Amino acid sequence: MKNPIKFLSFLIWLMPVALLAQSIDGKTVLQDIQYLSGDQLGGRKTLSEGNLVAREYIKERFKSQGLHSQFSDFTQFFNFKNEREGKFYENAANIVGFMPGSETDKLIVVMAHYDHIGQTDEVIFNGADDNASGVAALLSLSEYFSKNRPMHSMMFVALDAEEMGLQGAKALVNDFPFPIEQVVLNINMDMISRNDKNELYAVGTYHYPKLKPILEKVSQGKSPKLMLGHDQPNTGFEDWTMSSDHALFHKNNIPFIYFGVEDHQDYHQPTDTFENIHPEFYLGAVQLILDALIAFDKELIPLK
């Protein structure tokens, strides 16, 4: 632990939040993001030692939560060539947990990528916001629904090799264990732990407007402020429709919502560390995403 005094202040701040919002275990969320972005994981580049450690950490958590999986030992292996490096990667892995629904066999797929860009010489790119934040949130959401059975079946996926061209998402969609038409919604979380303007974006309602009123209702009066946008065509880099793993579901005409923040000065820098997340913002974001997922689970059944 690099800064125990700062972490203790997080926990002191967290106490009143825990009383107000019982749905997430904020202490565990903070411990998870701290561990996954620690120096000992070396930036989690695909197939690195730290990446394999993160893989096992997520897998063991899914097991302890009592989740099921359509893949042996929760692991979907895949191979790919990283064209940028001209290198072939064998046995990269998505970690897949599953909770059957109580009302329908239709699926909601919830995901976050656990890889990052690794290290150069002695410089570690810890990737706290990108994307230990999304993975810690994923573990919190799977924990909630393991104890509160959803109406839809839910698949919780920690994806590998996003940083190398969305390779884990490609493998998931290409080797999906159900007819892909059963998926009614994809939720992707990628960079959700900090924003100076207290804004969290929900991307996708331009393409799937039926999702908009659900998000507007659930986010009313909440912090952080939920912003809808970054999804209109012909806006260049301002359009995030294809910018992360949700793109593979969108290509298959599956509705998605991508939760994320605008880039900050530490994006893909060694300074993207646990010490630089905004804990109040982050825990509020995780709670808001959980609230949205609960609402989607209840309200999407009559929509499709």
Q: Is residue 202 helix, strand or coil? A: strand
Count CB neighbours of 243 within 10 A: 17
Mean pLDDT value across residues 186-206: 98
Indicate the pLDDT class of residue 303, thresholds 50, 70 and 90: low
DSSP collapsed to 3 states, 55-113: HHHHHHHHHHCCCECCCHHHEEEEEEEECCCCEEEEEEEEEEEEECCCCCCCEEEEEEE
Q: Answer whether residue 18 shows pLDDT above 80.
A: no
Alpha helices in the chain (DSSP H): 4-20, 26-36, 49-64, 133-147, 167-174, 212-219, 247-250, 279-299
For 77-124, the pLDDT digits (tens) are 999 999 989 999 999 999 999 999 999 989 999 999 999 999 998 999
| Antiparallel, parallel or unpaired: β 123-124 and 183-189 | unpaired
Could you list the beta-strand ranges (E) of 148-263. 153-159, 183-189, 199-203, 225-228, 256-260
CA separation for the pair 268, 245 (Å, rounded): 17
Q: Answer whether residue 204 shows pLDDT above 70.
A: yes
Domains along the sequence of the chain with CATH:
4-303 (3.40.630.10)
Q: Answer whether residue 126 shows pLDDT above 60.
A: yes
* pTM recorded for the entire structure: 0.92
Q: Answer whether residue 12 shows pLDDT above 60.
A: no
CA separation for the pair 302, 38 (Å, rounded): 43
Rg (CA), the chain: 18
Q: Is residue 138 helix, strand or coil? A: helix
Share of the chain above pLDDT 70, in %: 92
Average pLDDT, the chain: 93
pLDDT score for 302: 62
pLDDT score for 23: 85
CA separation for the pair 142, 146 (Å, rounded): 6
- Read off the tokens for 150: 């959803």
Share of the chain above pLDDT 90, in %: 89
pLDDT score for 4: 44
pLDDT score for 304: 46
Looking up tokens 């939720």 gives 187
Indicate the pLDDT class of residue 6, thresholds 50, 70 and 90: very low
Q: Is residue 281 helix, strand or coil? A: helix
CA separation for the pair 51, 256 (Å, rounded): 27
Indicate the pLDDT class of residue 5, thresholds 50, 70 and 90: very low
Indicate the pLDDT class of residue 22, thresholds 50, 70 and 90: low
Alpha-carbon distances, residue 24 vs 55, 142, 260, 279, 295 (angstroms): 22, 10, 19, 14, 16
pLDDT score for 2: 42
Q: Answer whether residue 20 shows pLDDT above 90.
A: no
Q: Answer whether residue 168 shows pLDDT above 60.
A: yes
First to last CA, the chain: 47
- 85 within 8 A of 160, measured Cβ to Cβ: no
For 49-77, the pLDDT digits (tens) are 999 999 999 999 999 999 999 999 999 99
